[in-house]
Amino acid sequence: MGRLVIPNVKQMADGRVYFRRKVEGRDTYHRLPPIDSPEFAAEYQRLSRPVPERPKPADGTLAKLVANYRASSEYRGIQSSDTKENYGRYLDMIVEVDGHRTVRGVKPVHVKKMRDRHQDKPGKANNWLTVFRLLMAFAAQNGDRDDNPASGIKALKIGEHQPWPAPLLRVALKVASPMTRLAIATGLCSGQRVSDVIRMQYGWIRDGIMELTQAKTGVDVAIPMHPFWLEELARLPRSAVTLLYDRSGKPFGTTGAIQARLRDLMEHEEVREVLEDLVAADVIPEGTTFTFHGLRKNACCYLLELGLSDASVGGILGMSPAMVRHYGKKARALMIAREAAAKVLGGTVIPLAGVQPVQGLKKA
């Protein structure tokens, strides 16, 4: 299928369509209805009209602080394009909703209330808090205020990314499209974030080792490539320098297309049936969701079960030993149980005749 060619319109790999226009010198993207929708033409015309200039933000306001932060070396120096794009969305949100507030007037109680606007979506609330905390730190460093009112505000509790159960992995690999299947295999075998998985190149493979620098952390990792991963790579043609590519043969520009493919995969009839069976068997709670990041936890548990140390697992996955212990706590508990099984099963639960009772215990 050919690519969409309409001025200022960008079609994503998953088919979504966006209108691109300049707002205050920056590219902004606005979701359009599907190209075959009756509403497409009207929305395209609306977005094609010139954007009225916003009044310049007043000195001392959050809107002005955001403008200064965007122009700073701190913001421009963010290496990951995904991170910068994500921060940008929340900075826009801060300007739109709270841009009129004064920087010096923000107190911890205000930060808490602003965070709690999004409490129905804890992940969004915590992302907002992260960006606002950075913004207030920037203000303090530049003399706009004396402290950071967001430093003591805690993030909301949020469910962890769950490792994919084996039945889910099997059915997902069975029904996924070839490229989505390769993405899952790459995440499972490399244990890397999706932002690094879409960057992986054939030129980074040396003697069966995938070498890369993580975009988010700058940590260098070297990952032994499992035979399953190599087999999956061999199934698809090398249409790009990267392992993964979109339907036009180009590397994925952002993580959005992969994330969208996984969301669609989780709605597949066979996948839904497996998830329902796992809930019925009390393997997972009802409503549990599985994301690409959960594959990172799968990889961590697998390496621990092979007997690698926390430091070795961390070196392969680009995690701290503390994070390895956190990700692998369930796997380690099972390993300990297996190691202890022989002794536990070989012991005597009910004392035999003539065996002295343990001191300090009373007879029933």
Q: How far apart are CA 55 and CA 282, in angstroms?
A: 57
* Separation of CA 27 from chain center: 24
Looking at the structure, do residues 116 and 197 belong to the same domain, yes or no? no
Q: Which of 54, 75, 93 is the last residue of a domain?
A: 54
Q: Kindly state the tokens that stand for 51.
A: 């954007």
Q: Are 17 and 23 in contact (CB under 8 A)?
A: no
What average pLDDT does the structure give for the chain?
87
Max avg pLDDT among 79-88, 232-241, 254-263, 304-313 = 232-241
The band of 303, judged by pLDDT with boundaries at 50, 70 and 90, is: very high
Work out how many domains the chain is built from and give that number: 3
Q: Are 14 and 256 in contact (CB under 8 A)?
A: yes
Q: Which of 158, 176, 207 is the last residue of a domain?
A: 158
pLDDT higher than threshold 60 for residue 361: no
pLDDT higher than threshold 70 for residue 341: no
How many beta carbons lie within 10 A of that of residue 329, not counting itself? Answer: 12
Average pLDDT over residues 27-37: 82
Domain assignment present for 187: yes
Domain assignment present for 194: yes
Looking at the structure, do residues 62 and 28 belong to the same domain, yes or no? no
Domain assignment present for 122: yes
Q: Kindly state the tokens that stand for 347.
A: 């012991």
Looking at the structure, do residues 27 and 97 belong to the same domain, yes or no? no
Looking at the structure, do residues 6 and 100 belong to the same domain, yes or no? no
On the 0-12 / 13-18 / 19+ scale of CB atoms within 10 A, 166 is: exposed
Domain assignment present for 102: yes
Looking at the structure, do residues 210 and 286 belong to the same domain, yes or no? yes
Looking at the structure, do residues 66 and 145 belong to the same domain, yes or no? yes
How many beta carbons lie within 10 A of that of residue 60, not counting itself? Answer: 15
Q: Which positions ≥6 away from 225 have C-beta within 8 Å?
A: 189, 205, 208, 209, 210
Lowest-confidence segment of 183-192, 287-296, 312-321 by average pLDDT: 287-296
Looking at the structure, do residues 104 and 88 belong to the same domain, yes or no? yes
pLDDT for position 144: 97
Task: Report residue 192: phi and psi, to 5°.
Answer: -100, 160
pLDDT higher than threshold 60 for residue 168: yes
The band of 350, judged by pLDDT with boundaries at 50, 70 and 90, is: low
Residue 257: give the domain boundaries: 166-293
Looking at the structure, do residues 142 and 244 belong to the same domain, yes or no? no
pLDDT for position 238: 95
Q: Is 148 left (phi over 0), alpha (psi -120 to 50) or beta?
A: beta
Q: Which of 238, 267, 293 is the last residue of a domain?
A: 293
Residue 62 CA: distances (Å) to CA of 105, 129, 244, 291, 295: 10, 14, 40, 34, 39
pLDDT for position 230: 96
Percent of the chain with pLDDT over 90: 55
Q: How far apart are CA 131 and CA 74, in angstroms?
A: 13
Residue 37 CA: distances (Å) to CA of 45, 84, 120, 249, 355: 14, 32, 31, 27, 82
Q: Are 106 and 144 in contact (CB under 8 A)?
A: no
The CATH code of the domain that includes 68 is 1.10.150.130
Looking at the structure, do residues 115 and 221 belong to the same domain, yes or no? no
Domain assignment present for 322: no
Q: How far apart are CA 259 and CA 265, in angstroms?
A: 10
Looking at the structure, do residues 194 and 235 belong to the same domain, yes or no? yes
The band of 107, judged by pLDDT with boundaries at 50, 70 and 90, is: very high
The band of 188, judged by pLDDT with boundaries at 50, 70 and 90, is: very high
Domain assignment present for 281: yes
Looking at the structure, do residues 19 and 100 belong to the same domain, yes or no? no
Looking at the structure, do residues 173 and 273 belong to the same domain, yes or no? yes
Residue 315 CA: distances (Å) to CA of 45, 168, 223: 52, 28, 9
Domain assignment present for 309: no
pLDDT for position 364: 46
Q: How far apart are CA 255 and CA 197, in angstroms?
A: 9
The CATH code of the domain that includes 251 is 1.10.443.10
Q: What angle do CA 224, 313, 240 make, to 5 degrees?
A: 40
Average pLDDT over residues 314-334: 85
Q: Are 161 and 293 in contact (CB under 8 A)?
A: yes
pLDDT higher than threshold 60 for residue 70: yes
Domain assignment present for 352: no
